[in-house]
Structure 1
Amino acid sequence: MTPIQVLHGQPTPEELATVLAVVQSRAAGRAATGPARGPASAWTARTPRHLPAPGPHAWRTSLWPR
């Protein structure tokens, strides 16, 4: 784990301990689940892999209510 530095402010020992506990627990949780699978971000999860191709008479139904 890389060292953590406080860049701004002067946290109390309790505040610093809280932040370090959260960071450590998240790192331990990631290590326990293994490498992440799936999309790298929520944005790529929502985009389809390919766009649907319109059918032969798609222009007829393009103004139908959905």
Structure 2
Amino acid sequence: MSTDTMLRVEKGHAEPEELAAITAILLARAAATPSAVPAPRRSTAGWRRLERTPGFRAPHSWQG
């Protein structure tokens, strides 16, 4: 595989050392086992606060 098709710099100019560093990071991430990758955490609550819900609910709404 040609080195000019493996990575493409969209803006600016990347030195060979910078391309080598990003390549090493990408290869390390690709080789990581699934157990080494932490599970994503929820950033929001799974419930809603009543004061943030709209005032009107349809009579046939299951939200009650």
TM range (shorter): 0.3 to 0.5
Higher helix proportion (structure 1 or 2): 1
| Normalised TM-score (structure 1) | 0.43
